[in-house]
Each structure stands twice: as structure tokens, then as C-alpha cells.
Structure 1
Amino acid sequence: MPSTRENIIDFLYDVKSTAFHAKRDKEILDKYPFNPFIRPGTSLGDAADWQGALIGHALPGGIVTRGAFEELAAEIIDRLTKIVASAGQIQGLWYDIHGAMCVEGIDDVEFELLRRIREVIGPDVLVSASMDLHGNVSRELAHQTDLITCYRTAPHVDVIETRERACRNLVDLLARGSKQPFKAWVPIPVLLPGEQTSTRVEPALHIYDAVPKIESLKGVIDAAIWVGYAWADEPRNRAAIVVTGWDRTAVSSGAESLAHTFWDAHQNFEFVAKTGSFGECLDTALSSSAHPYFISDSGDNPTAGGSGDMTWGLTKLLARPEFKQASGPTVIYASVPGPKAIQVAIEAGIGATVTVTAGAEIDNIHAGPITMTGRVHSIKHGDTHARVEVVLQVGSVFAILTELRKPYHHESDFTELNIQPRSADIVIVKIGYLEPELYDMAADWMLGLTPGGVDQKLERLGHHRIRRPMWPFDKTFEKQPDLTARIISPSNEPLSGPDE
């Protein structure tokens, strides 16, 4: 990475094993969101004896320490070993992953974990993976799975549907008693942020509309398109197609059709909303009659992997003269972590005026810690992510401070803090495209092209390990990319042939 250390890989904090909030054994079946369709009394629940090993979900951001990965991976392997020993053998495994985790010293961690799992369950056990479409599918990962699928919407409103599809495909495959199906994989030299590939708008809308059409072809089980993860710098980061099925010709032609549909539109991807600098967004919001007017402070979006503790946006906001007085336009800003600021506010109590310093403990590249004097508007304890939240009113700005970083995606995230986003003039959130609840609340919105670890202007981040040429890093290609389907050998056979 460049010496400016602007890329997320360089400066974000290390993610520890405790950040994954692991669940084990029956906890998984009881509390995981997918349990409505695998519990007893449902078609999938009665089709198999489901047993949980370990699942964990961490708020995105930063490199997972090697120690944290090894700790959790070892526990997964240990629990699977015991399950296999108790059952004598297992027939299938559901591998539910995001697909873009970064771990110290490992470039393709989802493959590496599955490789270790295969050492326990064996090469013949059928594995069905479900993923986020912002994950990465390397040739090696495709090889180690028998079935692999991903979301078809962004924002993701089909999470449960995708997980159910992965489980149902696995059960159906086991019921057939057949060998592993064919898998056609096509890598595409495109790497774009989700905010340019939202299925709300073209061209992603028509690209993803083509997926069910391919899946409906005779001899095809599943079809999937990944756009990849744009803010890491690994050789696997790029778009990809996988089509799975019983008919080799059908899966190959289907994968190539989707690949060409994607590539033919690669120059047409645009942002999902009006964009501008932070200042331009504020100017537009102030002149607009649409309220609440939402602004995405996108460069520090924690759900995309940003540190969440940048103060750049809040610093710029509080410097504006329009918001200096309490009588100014009402603005909500979410959020900046500040454990010490939280403690000061708690000790002073609601209604007190305090001076606190917060933020920039992790990412201080663009702005340092921010010092503010304001009135403590509200305090909330017990949030899953933030732990403790404080709202500080500075002029007409209601700034949310947190003990630990937190994304703000739901109306209740605000109302539980005694602030009403629907009544505000401007709501600023560290996010990319607006999640569904925010999108529905917004009278209008803009995507702020702000700096940070998940900068939407990818070329500023200094990628140097991705495969080149790659759009949009390279605007011209000496020759058309090879979009022929690569038939990936079954997981119980050696992987052979070139990676491209």
C-alpha cells in the first residue's frame, strides 16, 4: 500500500475473536435467522438432522488478526470432528459466509477455512455455500464447494431466501443420491463498489434479472453473480459468475451468457443516487424543501469495512455557520465513537453542558479527534454494537457518540435515543446506499463522496495486488477479456488448469 496509508487494509483496527459474537450448537438453530425453514415441522427441517458447529458475525472493518482466525477456525474444526465422530459420517454441510473477510497472512480465507473443514468431513461430503454478492469467489473456493449461490439484491432484501435456497439445493442434491454437479466459473475483470452496482437501478437491475432466467434452464440448478469486494487488495477481488447443474453445456452457456451481459454493461455502471462533495451535499440539502434530507457520509461506512471513527464529516458539519445556533436547521449525525466522551456525558447527566473529545483513535488520516461543547440530549445503555450511546446537541446538530462503532440503519436506532429523524431537516449517516428503512424515510438523498477507508473513488486507495487490467482502474483493454466458462472439477478431484 502507498505510504499515505489510505487503504482500509493498512489502518483499520484488528478484529478480535470476541467481535464475532459466536454461537454454538443448538444456539445456532434456536437464534440464527434461518431457523424458520430448518426447524422440525418444516419441509427442510424434516428433510435432515441439522446440527450446528459454530457461527460468528462481526461488524465489518479491518483485518481479522491471525490469532482470532486460528482460534475460531480451530473451534469449528474441533466441533465438526466431534459431530462426525458421533454421527459416524455426515452427508452434507451448509457453509454460510459473506466472502470478503481479510485475515493477516491469508489471501483467500473462505477457501482456507473450507480446505481445513474438508480435511475433517472428507472430499465426498456435499458442501453448499451461501454468500453475499459482495463476496469473492476464487477458483479454489468454487472447487471446494459443490453448490454455491449468493444474494440477488443490493441492498440485500433476499438474505433469508438465499440461505433457504442453499439449504434446499443441498437437501435436493442429497435426495438424488447423485455425484457432484458441474460448476461453470467465469471471472470478470470488473471491481466496483456496491453503490455503483445496486440492483435498484440499471445496469445491475437487468443483469440480476437475468439470473432466474438462466436458473430456469433445463439441467441448471443455480446461477449466481458476484460483484466482489472493492475495498480490499487481494488477487481474488473481482466480479465472478458461477452456474451449477447437471448439463455441462447448459451451465457453460448460461455462465457465459451472464458474463457477457455483465461485461457488456461495465461502462454503464453509475452511482445509485445523486453524488457530490460533502459541502455540495449540505448545500443541496439546505436549499431543498424535501425533509428529511439524507446524506451518506460514504467514505467511513462501517458496514462496508470503514473504521467508523473518522471525524472528518462531523468536523466539516460543525464548522458550517448555518448550524451554530440551536435555532438552525435540525441535523442528526450518526456517528462517532468516543469512549472517554461517553463517560464524561454519563457522569454529567442528561441536560448538562459538557466539553468532550471523540473519534480518530483508528483513522486520523484526514482529521484528528474532534472537541465539542454541547448539551447532553440523551443516553442509552445496552446496544449490541455501540454498547453505550450519547446524543450531544451542538448548536442545531444532534451528534451521536458511541462507546463502540455502530451502523445506523433503522428508525428505532434514532427514536430510542429520543431523536426523530422524520422531523429533522437533514440526517447524515455513515453508510453507502441507504438501507431500506432509511430509503423509505428519506424525502430525498445524496451520496457524499467523502474520504475514508471505503472511499467510493477507488483509484485513490492505491490497489496494487488486484489482477490487471481491471475496470475501472484501467479504462482501456488491449483485448477483450476471456469470458469462456471454466468447468471446475468436483471437490473430490484435483484442481487442475490455469487460474484464469
Structure 2
Amino acid sequence: MKFVVALIRHETNTFSPVPTVLGDFRRGTGPGGPAYGEAAAKACAGTNSAAAAYMDMAREMGAEVEFAICANAVPSGVVTRDAFEHICDTVVASVSGGCDAVLLDLHGAMVADGFPDAEGELLRRVRAAVGADVPVGVALDFHANFSRELIAHASAIAGYCTYPHIDVYETGARVGRSIRALLERRSEPVILWRRLPMLTHMLRQTPAMQPMKDIMDRAMQAERDGLVRNASVFGGFPLSDIPYAGLSIVIVADRDKMPAAQALLDELCDLAWSRRADFVFPTEPVAESIAHAKSLPEGPVILVDHGDNAGAGGTTDIMDVLEEVLRQGLEDVVAGPFCDPACVAELFEKRIGDEVTVDVGGKIDMPALQLTGKPLRLTGVIEKLTDGNYTITGPMFTGMTLSLGRTVVLRIGESVRVFISERPQEPYDIGLFTHAGIDPAQVKYVLIKSRQHFRAGFGPFARHVVLVSGPGVCSSDYGLFPFEHLSRPIYPLDQETTATDGDGLVQAAR
């Protein structure tokens, strides 16, 4: 028996001005783009990834694994056609050699040049190559967007139940169990899917709290009870201007349990739709948020600049929030990482201990939001020069290696330390600070660019969390975005939207 495994992850913010090229698909695989074959398997083995769960299941079943590609990129702009075609061609070449199952570890919100639903197009090509009878299992990120094509060509689908995403391996195991039941002829699955016409705010999506918590809890309990094979609630990725954005629910059920599965789908959709107003996050001026943080007596206080988050396609070079932190005189601060390769190159020509004045960030314009880059001039002392490499020890993607590229720690005054890196990275693990000898749990203020993922690594020691609505292509103010391709009407952009304005499909699994 032979399984083909592939990991392909990219969350595409279509408003980002930074295109995603093949060389960007290197996160967790080292420099130089994707990994293939044994190198890909080595990059994923023992990690908190769906691909690792697939490999473990194959070992249990005595199956051979061909690992086609491990291609994992930091969220950014649209994937170039060349990169997408290369990734698809690699997977199709592997499955065309013959296999008993295809097991895909995908994101679900990738947009490529010419393909607004890149994963749906990948599945279409895979299905054309393997035929109707080979099972195709798909693990997806909680922020996946769905088209009919993605549903039509899959045999089993499951998504992360957590945000921050700490159950990635478990999601692969859930997909694997459904595929194994299909291979062993213990299941005749059907996939039920519905997309509601609502753009949920990412700061209101997490299943750790309401309004999402008991919706996800109900889905997970139904799966544990055996009512269905898989039950997944997807918050969706709202910063992709495509017709498929929105909250979706996907159920995989045995054919003889279809009525119960349909009732569960209706129940979950009704509950989510009834709470649509609760999924909207109100913003406030940056100065007010920083003033509130300054008034808090004890730290660590985590300042979360969610408008410029690399984990949702932000450039991480917008300096407005740091500028306000300095203006209001906060002390004992660690901040970053701010992505500025040119600044890093300049500082690496200096030595530790040198006093320098540099213009940090603000190198990238964002025409979609009419934002012009505005560097921040900083004077400080170079405290650290590092290679930016670290291994994740926290609960999200545990064991994977990441790299900020060359990284500089610049000390401003006596107690403000600013991390400047060659590559963007959302801070969901403290390793991006501790690799440079700085423990964020021991400072008063930690300024990072994130939304929810920071809670995985920083939540355990945070005394306070202040959400700061800084500018950028990850803003929670959807009124700033020039949406053109969404399926309309959609809430909250269109207040008169009804639940029937969405989409859905019942599909016999293939």
C-alpha cells in the first residue's frame, strides 16, 4: 500500500502588495524554497503537523509514504502563477505514479494568480490524475475558505478546532481515521457543506471563547460521539477578496447517518448566523490603547498590533504603534520583530555596542488601503546580532524550525529593545525573543504584531492583553478595504443579508 503526502500552506491576503514566490515556501524547511521527498519527510516528522499524523498512520498500516513536497510560506500576497504551477505539478507527478490514497496538509485560503481558490484547483488536478476511486484526505486550517470544487474532489475533510492552532497533528489524525475507514470499506462517506454569508472578524473567531466556543464544542462532541465522521467549523479568512470567503461548516458522515448529519449542519449554521453581530470587533484609536496599557500597574502587558500581522499577510514594517509607545514614554519594552532587510544589512556592517541612527520600517506602500510607507528614525545601541533561527517549543507547530533571517536587537534608551529582522514572522512562540537572550516574561511591555496566535506562546505569562488597532492590510475595520469580488450580499458589509444568501453542497465523497 502506498500513500502520497504533501504539505502546502499559504494564507493569502489579496490586499498585500507583496507577491508570494516559490522561494517564500521555506518556513520550516530552511532556506531555498520547498523541501521534497526525504527532506520534506524529515522536516515534518515528529512535529505538530497533519503531515506528521499521516506518516504515523502509514507506519501503523505498513504503508509506503511518498512525500511529494513540503511548501509552507508566511502569509502574504497572491501566489505567483509559476510558484503555484510548480507546486501542483510536483504533487500531480507523485500521485500519477500510482497510490492508494492522497493525504494533503493544506491551508485552505491560498489564492494564486488566476486561481482564487488555489486548493480547489489543486484538488481538481489531483482527482483528474488519480481517478474517482482513490481516497483524497484533506486537513485544513481553521481559516479556510471554501468553493464547491474543493468539496467535490475530496473524500474526507477536517479542520483545526483551535485558534491559536495547537491541534494540527490531531486534525491530521482525524482525517486519517476517516480515510482508513474508507480504505478498509467500513465507511461510505458523504460530505455536507454550507458557507454562510458572513465575514467574521478574526479577533472574534477563536473557539476558546464566545461567540464561537459552543458552536465548535457542539461540532467536536458530535464527532466524538460517532454521530458523524468529521465535523468542522471554519471561521474563514476574511482578508481574501474572493467569492469564497466566509464562515463555513463541513460535515463528513456515513451515508446511513445522513439525516442526523444534516440536522447537525442546520443546527450549527443556525447558531452561527444568530450570533453574526457578535463576530464583529470594534476598533479604537492607537493612542487610547497605549494610554490604557500605560495605566496598568503590573506586567507583562502584551500589546498586540493586529493591523499589521504577518500571520494574516501584514508586511510587519508599519511603525505607528511603536512610535506611539515611544511618544508616551513606556519603559521596559521588548518589541518586534519588524521586518526590514535593508536596515538589517546596514546594521550588520556595524558591531555590537555601536550607537547608530537608522530609519526602520515603512519601506512598503499599501496602495489597496492608500497607505504610504513611513519609516521611523531610531537612535540606539546594537545589543545583539543573531542568525534568527529557533525551534518552536510552545504548543503551536511544536518542533518546527523557523528563521527570522539575520536579526538585530537595537536598544533605545535604557529599557526599550527593538527586534529588526530580514523575514516576517508572527510571534506565536517566545523563541523569536529568547534566541537572542531576552525573556519576554520578564519585561513590563511586549509589543508584537499578531491577532490570536500569540496566546499559544505568550498567553501563559501575560497579566494583561491590550489589542491595538494599528494600520495595515490586516485591519479589523472592513470598511477600509476595497472589496470587489466577494459574494454579495455579505454581513456585516451588507446589513440586510439573509442566511440563504450563502452557498452549500451535499456531495458523495470521492
By the TM > 0.5 criterion, same fold? yes
After TM superposition, the structure 1 = structure 2 runs for residues 56-71 of structure 1, keeping only pairs within 5 Å, are 56-71=71-86
Work out the CA distance in 2 between the residues paired with 1:8 and 1:219.
36
Secondary structure in 1 aligned to 2:335?
Answer: strand
Give the partner amino acid of 1:332: V
2:272 to 247, 262, 269: 262
Q: Which moved more, 1:307-316 or 1:152-161?
A: 307-316
Check if 1:337 corresponds to 2:339.
yes
CA contact (8 A) 1:252 1:487 kept: no
Paired residues, number:
468
**1:344-383 equivalent positions in 2, closer than 5 A:** 344-363=346-365, 365-383=371-389
- For residues 68 and 152 of structure 1, the distance between their equivalents in structure 2, rounded to whole angstroms, comes to 29
Moved more, 31-40 or 444-453: 31-40
Q: C-alpha distance in 1, partners of 2:304/2:181?
A: 43
Distance, in Å, in 1 between the alignment partners of 2:382 and 2:226 is 63
**Distance in 2 between the 1:72 and 1:485 partners?**
28
1:131 corresponds to 2:131: no
CA contact (8 A) 1:352 1:375 kept: yes
Q: Which has the larger radius of gyration?
A: 1
Q: Which residue of 2 aligns with 1:419?
A: 438
Q: Does 1:486 align with 2:505?
A: yes
CA gap of 1:8–1:486, structure 2 versus 1, over 3 A, is closer
Confirm whether residue 18 of structure 1 aligns to residue 38 of structure 2. no
Q: Which residue of 1 aligns with 2:95?
A: 80
Taking a change above 3 Å as real, the CA distance of residues 12 and 441 of structure 1, as seen in their structure-2 partners, is: farther
Show the 5 A alignment for 1:163-202: 163-176=172-185, 179=188, 181-202=189-210
Tell me the CA shift for residue 8 of structure 1. Answer: 4.8
Q: Which residue of 1 aligns with 2:243?
A: 235
**CA 1:487–1:12: 2 relative to 1, 3 Å:** same
Any idea what SS the aligned residue of 1:315 has?
helix
Residue in structure 1 matched with residue 457 of structure 2 by the alignment: 437
| Aligned residues of 2:306 and 2:449 also touching (Cα < 8 A) | yes
1:464 to 479, 484, 493: 484
For residue 404 of structure 1, report the CA deviation from its aligned partner.
2.1
Measured in 1, the distance between the counterparts of 2:482 and 2:197 equals 17
**Structure 1 residues 391, 204: CA separation in 2 closer, same or farther (over 3 Å shift)?**
same
Q: 3-state DSSP class of the match of 2:230? A: strand
Match of 2:399 in 1: none
Q: Deviations over 1:28-72 (max 9, x none)?
A: 3333125765557x6863353332111210011111111111122
Structure 2: gaps (5+ residues): 1-11, 27-33, 390-401
Q: Which runs of 5+ in 1 are unaligned?
A: 1-6, 85-89, 324-328, 492-500
AA at the equivalent of 1:114: L
2-side partners of 1:341 and 1:420: how far apart? 24
TM-score with structure 1 setting the length: 0.88
Report if the CA contact (8 A) 2:138-2:157 is conserved. Answer: yes
Question: Which of 294, 310, 313 is the aligned partner of 1:286?
Answer: 294
Whether the 8 Å contact between 1:260 and 1:483 is mirrored in structure 2 is no
- The alpha carbon displacement at 1:97 in A equals 0.5
SS at match of 1:487: strand
Taking only the aligned residue pairs, the percentage that are identical comes to 27
Among 104, 108, 123, the alignment partner of 2:117 is 108
Residue 469 of structure 2: aligned partner? 449
Instruction: Report the equivalent of 1:322.
Output: 329
Give 2:394's aligned residue: none
**Retained in 2: the 8 A contact 1:148–1:166?**
yes
Equivalent position of 1:226 in the other structure: 234
Letter of the structure 2 residue corresponding to residue 204 of structure 1: M
Q: Distance in 2 between matches of 1:480 and 1:77?
A: 37
Whether 2:406 is the aligned partner of 1:397: answer no
